[in-house]
Amino acid sequence: MAQSTSWDAHPEPLAVDSAPLPEYGSGSLADLLPTLAAGMSVPGTTATITELTPADRNCVFLIDGLGWEQLRAHPDEAPFLTSLLGSSRGGTGRPLTTGYPATTATSLASVGTGLPPGAHGLPGYTVRNPATGELMNQLRWQPWTSPSAWQPYPTVFQLAHAAGVHAAQVSSPTFQNTPLTKVALSGGTFHGRLTGEDRMDLAAEQLAAGDRSLVYTYYAELDGAGHRFGVASDAWRGQLMSVDRLVQRLAEQLPPRSALYVTADHGMIDVPFDEDHRIDFDADWELRAGVALLGGEGRARHVYAVPGAAADVVTCWREVLGEQFWVASRDEAIAAGWFGPHIDERVYDRLGDVVAAARDDVLIVASEREPKESAMVGNHGSMTPAEQLIPLLEVRS
């Protein structure tokens, strides 16, 4: 390999272990619910976010797409959330990391199971199903496969419910019977409410419904505005203003002995629309060579090689992508701990032979096989602070 110089077309590839790892086991999204449940003495749970003080009634409000950096950049649109920044991580003013990849299906499973992606087994937006050899979309659960075989662990809600804690999820009715809800958020009772205001009011009611309670609520639309129009677009900022008011509405209704935690599943980064920033897999014969299936998403790819080609695909992707992506073989990504401290056997073959995580504001789009995703302004998935860091804001009654 030639030495990296300023005039090289393809500079020296990034070392796999130079990627900033999620703080699995001490400050990642998967650590949140076990910490809260342990504070309510739920058997089988451990408090790993040591800065948090236990409460009898715990509510988690997950705002899809609200990264720590984006929140900090928009204090005028989010006065209430901004006033809570000093409360992060129990007053230490620090964010959590969401886990890899920084994507909704993976993160919701991490939240609900309290496990890193390598254990719960939803390690991407799309991953290969080893039983069929087909790509499976983890968010839409297509094509369908048995949810309980795919993710066999109990959720923290189920553990809490079994221990006599009042457990409830308050979200859009759309999500009530989805397989993702089943594998990530089962346990206690699901309450579907269409408007954010109704969800806040009901979450407060559910929190008061037990001496000990664990309530989850969710807001989706900020992420959608970011994907379509970009972070800091008028639509995105309008959504941030709305959700800021919702958090305040819930905070003002907290019953006694409660803690409200506001967090997110990932942040977001805008990617310019030009060939330097959007590398088109469908138009790039070098990237396609030896590849059977392209999984994941633009900033967090799982690449499945044709038999025998894995090593060549790693080499080629490294050369083509240079310093723009961290490119790891499956075993390198596992050894580096990208998906957590260990990988369950059933999860191993769901990971790409090559795993590519964006470092710069770049994407590997696929204009033909993923026309919709390839047209998104805001994106997420990788390990950069803009995507990986998420707030953990606290309000106590």
Stretch that binds Zn ion, among 117-125, 157-165, 208-216, 223-231 (CB under 5 A): 223-231
Interface pattern 376-395 for Zn ion (x via CB under 5 A)? --------------------
Answer whether the bond into residue 143 is a cis peptide, omega within 30°. Answer: yes
Half-sphere exposure of residue 329, counting CA atoms within 13 Å on the CB side?
A: 11
Stretch that binds Zn ion, among 6-14, 122-130, 220-228, 273-281 (CB under 5 A): 220-228
Q: Is 297 in the site for Zn ion (CB under 5 A)?
A: no
Query: For residues 298 and 322, which CB has a smaller minimum distance to Zn ion in the complex?
Result: 298
Per DSSP, which regions of 100-182 are E strands?
126-128, 135-137, 166-171
CB of 391 to Zn ion, least distance (A): 16
Q: Is 265 in the site for Zn ion (CB under 5 A)?
A: no
Query: For residues 223 and 370, which CB has a smaller minimum distance to Zn ion in the complex?
Result: 223
Burial 109-145 (b: 16+ CB within 10 A, else e): bbbbbbbbbbbbbbbbbbbbeeeeeebbebbebeeee
CB of 102 to Zn ion, least distance (A): 9
CB of 35 to Zn ion, least distance (A): 25
Q: Is 223 in the site for Zn ion (CB under 5 A)?
A: yes
Query: For residues 151 and 379, which CB has a smaller minimum distance to Zn ion in the complex?
Result: 379
CB of 36 to Zn ion, least distance (A): 25
Query: For residues 42 and 268, which CB has a smaller minimum distance to Zn ion in the complex?
Result: 268
Query: For residues 35 and 97, which CB has a smaller minimum distance to Zn ion in the complex?
Result: 97
Residue 35 contacts residue 47 (beta carbons within 8 Å): yes
- For residues 124 and 106, give the distance between their C-alpha atoms in angstroms, rounded to a whole number: 6
CB of 317 to Zn ion, least distance (A): 24
Which residue is at the shortest CB distance from Zn ion?
A: 223
Query: For residues 204 and 363, which CB has a smaller minimum distance to Zn ion in the complex?
Result: 363
3-state secondary structure 203-267: HHHHHHCCCCEEEEEEECHHHHHHHHHCCCCHHHHHHHHHHHHHHHHHHCCCCCCEEEEEEECCC
Stretch that binds Zn ion, among 12-20, 146-154, 167-175, 215-223 (CB under 5 A): 215-223
- For residues 313 and 318, give the distance between their C-alpha atoms in angstroms, rounded to a whole number: 8
Number of residues that bind Zn ion (CB under 5 A): 1
* Tokens representing residue 37 in the block: 């449940």
Query: For residues 69 and 223, which CB has a smaller minimum distance to Zn ion in the complex?
Result: 223
Query: For residues 223 and 394, which CB has a smaller minimum distance to Zn ion in the complex?
Result: 223
* Tokens representing residue 85 in the block: 């920044």
Tell whether the torsion through CA atoms of 26, 27, 31 and 35 is positive or negative: positive
Nearest to 341 by CA among 2, 79, 22: 22
Stretch that binds Zn ion, among 71-79, 119-127, 221-229, 248-256 (CB under 5 A): 221-229
* Tokens representing residue 282 in the block: 């469908």
CB of 65 to Zn ion, least distance (A): 5
Stretch that binds Zn ion, among 74-82, 108-116, 126-134, 219-227 (CB under 5 A): 219-227
Residue 363 contacts residue 41 (beta carbons within 8 Å): no
Can you say whether residue 132 is alpha, beta or left, with left for phi > 0 and alpha for psi between -120 and 50 degrees? alpha
According to CB under 5 A, which residues from 228 to 257 bind Zn ion?
none
Residue 62 contacts residue 111 (beta carbons within 8 Å): yes
According to CB under 5 A, which residues from 181 to 200 bind Zn ion?
none
SS3 assignment, position 164: coil
Stretch that binds Zn ion, among 74-82, 147-155, 216-224, 236-244 (CB under 5 A): 216-224
- For residues 103 and 363, give the distance between their C-alpha atoms in angstroms, rounded to a whole number: 14
Query: For residues 265 and 353, which CB has a smaller minimum distance to Zn ion in the complex?
Result: 265
CB of 206 to Zn ion, least distance (A): 26
- Summarize as ranges the residues that interact with Zn ion (CB under 5 A): 223
